[in-house]
Amino acid sequence: MKYWIGAALVVIAAFAAALSGMNEYFFYAAYIVLTFVVLSTAWNILGGYAGYVNFGTGAFFGLGSYSAVVLFKALEAPLFVQILAGAAIGAALGFGVGIMTLRLRGIFFAIATVAILFIMETFMVNWRYVGGATGLQLLRPEVMAPFDSYTRMLFVVMALLAVVAVSIARYIQVSWIGRGLRAIRDSEEAAECSGVPTLKLKLFACVVSGALMGAAGAPMPMYLSFIEPASSFSLNWGVSALAMPMIGGTGHWIGPVIGALLLGSIQQIVTVTISNEINVLVVGVLLVLFVVLAPDGIVGLFRKWTRRSSR
């Protein structure tokens, strides 16, 4: 109950902020941070709970963006439909990836997701309809009633999506599905022998994770008014979506949220004040530091600290 009140407050706060007279740049930056909240939460469902490392977040994200662009170009579909389509395509790709987990684990699974990412990118580079390698300029439609600008509206949409994603991740974590996934992470053979429906659970985790990543990608072309394959399918989405849960803590749903808010904000500040390259470096260095020094992330550090002070 406490959680739902908190979630409602977040949505109301996002709405209120979007209608207030705040600086436009805030929404421009916050949109990206919220996108990372969705991506890292989605990554954590498969990577954190079930232990299958996905390097190909960009494949789901980019495919979501491109499905939105195709629908927009062909039918002038509204944003809501674009997001649904992105989620559906992401879910379909997730199902395919889920089938792969039948045979592939560990690094083989991770490398296979990189392969999917590059194959997707190559297809889009060669698809003339969506602009090929040079990309496509898009004309945003008129903004809807209560909002002053399109960026503000996208910010609220992404905030809603983030709340939905976190709620789903939280539900999975506390329900029997989460227990099953954790059993798979610890030992897949033992889980299967104890009657955990491993394939069904893995497929479910892949589909949900893929759908959320696809949905997160769908509004991106509208946000940039532009789409091109190299940045849509970049491996950088993958390293961020992996680093944020690792830094926040993979065991709990709040971990990816903390990681994304923290790292995403640092990235936004660094991108503006220093350079774009440094922000990838920050992600890489923090990822390595946390993986080596604090394997359970910030959540783990916090738990250790409260346990020590209560003693």
Partner 1 sequence: MIFSFDLLFEAVLFGVLLGCFYAAVSIGLSVSFGLLDVPHVAHPALMVLGSYCTWLVASWGLDPILAGIILMPAFFALGVLIYRFYYETFEKRGTEAGVRGLAFFFGVAFIVEVGLILVFGVDQRTVAAPYIGSSWAIGEYRLPYRMLVAFGIALVLTAALTLYLSRTFTGRAIKAVAQDEPALRLMGANPVRIKQWAFGIATGVSALAGAMLIIVGPVEPALDRLYIGRTFCVVVLAGLGSMTGTLAAGLILGISESIVLMMLGASWAPAVAFGLLLIVLGIRPQGLFGR
Residue ranges that bind partner 1, judged by CB under 8 A: 47, 51, 53, 55, 100, 103-104, 106-108, 110-112, 114-116, 118-119, 121-123, 125-126, 133, 185, 235, 239, 242-243, 246, 250, 277-278, 280-281, 283-285, 287-288, 291-292, 295
Between helix 254-273 and helix 297-310 the angle, nearest 10°, is 120
- Nearest Cα to Cα of residue 227 among 219, 235, 236: 219
Q: Kindly tell me which of 201 and 270 has the beta carbon lying closer to partner 1.
A: 270
Q: Do residues 229 and 124 lie in contact, with contact meaning Cβ atoms separated by under 8 Å?
A: yes
Q: Kindly tell me which of 1 and 293 has the beta carbon lying closer to partner 1.
A: 293
Q: Kindly tell me which of 123 and 147 has the beta carbon lying closer to partner 1.
A: 123
CB of 76 to partner 1, least distance (A): 29
Q: For residues 113-152, b (16+ Cβ closer than 10 Å) or e, as one string?
A: bbebbeebbeebbeeeebbeeebbebebeeeeeebeebbb
Question: What is the DSSP code string of 292-303?
Answer: HH-TTHHHHHHH
CB of 17 to partner 1, least distance (A): 33
Q: How far apart, in Å, are the Cα atoms of 247 and each of 60, 258, 287? A: 22, 8, 6
Q: Kindly tell me which of 235 and 262 has the beta carbon lying closer to partner 1.
A: 235
CB of 283 to partner 1, least distance (A): 7
Q: Kindly tell me which of 17 and 125 has the beta carbon lying closer to partner 1.
A: 125
CB of 126 to partner 1, least distance (A): 5
Q: Kindly tell me which of 187 and 306 has the beta carbon lying closer to partner 1.
A: 187
Q: Do residues 65 and 220 lie in contact, with contact meaning Cβ atoms separated by under 8 Å?
A: yes
CB of 54 to partner 1, least distance (A): 10
E strand map for 100-241: 136-137, 226-227
| 227: β partners | 136
CB of 269 to partner 1, least distance (A): 17
Q: Kindly tell me which of 65 and 250 has the beta carbon lying closer to partner 1.
A: 250
CB of 202 to partner 1, least distance (A): 15
φ, ψ of residue 119 to 5 degrees: the values are: -65, -45
Q: How far apart, in Å, are the Cα atoms of 202 and each of 39, 97, 102? A: 18, 10, 9
What is the Cα gyration radius of the chain?
19
Q: Is 120 in a helix, a strand, or coil?
A: helix
Q: Kindly tell me which of 141 and 284 has the beta carbon lying closer to partner 1.
A: 284
CB of 198 to partner 1, least distance (A): 16
